[in-house]
Amino acid sequence: MASIQTAPIAITGDPVLYQKAAPVIAFDVALHNLTQTLMATMLQARGVGIAAPQIGVSQRLFIVASRPNERYPDAPLMEPMVMVNPVLLSGSSEWELGEEGCLSVPGKRLSIARHLWIDAQWQDLQGNTHSGRLHGFVARIFQHELDHLDGITLIERITMASQEHAMAAGETPL
């Protein structure tokens, strides 16, 4: 049996990280293979989530895989969830600041505001639609990975938040 290959992780500056990913249309062997590569790459990098654009594939697919580790010792343990064509349906009106890192932004940890809970919808690898409410750290991972599908990294997210804060304070954004 052949071992599952990992892929290089795209780093800030790589154009694939700044484009809106295309919807997944074919639920086939290629999608399963991509998911296996994503999972192997995420596990090797000790991540708690990874999006297809992070390995150079501009498709709307990511994995949410919360588990305690050295970067997130208080993270809840869950089975990894493959989410194809995910959509954020709604989010709590309450936001929480939390420190986030990113496999594509090595060496940086930034404080990012995210919804405390979200209602989301996604497809599985067979194309079946699922929905549910995600809370806390798992909701944070979903929102972080969804940003990747929309061409947003932590750097852009923090810049967007700074501009929104400045506008709310009546300042002229840069």
Judge whether 17 and 53 are in contact, CB under 8 Å.
Answer: yes
Q: Is 107 left (phi over 0), alpha (psi -120 to 50) or beta?
A: left
144 is in an annotated binding site: yes
Distances (CA, A) of 24 to 62, 84, 126: 11, 7, 11
145 is an active site residue: yes
32 is in an annotated binding site: no
Spot the catalytic one: 70, 99, 100, 145: 145
The CA distance from 138 to 66, in Å, is 6
102 is in an annotated binding site: yes
Q: Estimate to the nearest angstrom the gap between the alpha carbon of 118 and the chain centroid.
A: 14
Tell me the binding residues for Fe cation.
Answer: 102, 144, 148
* Active-site annotation, residues: 145
Tell me the binding residues.
Answer: 102, 144, 148
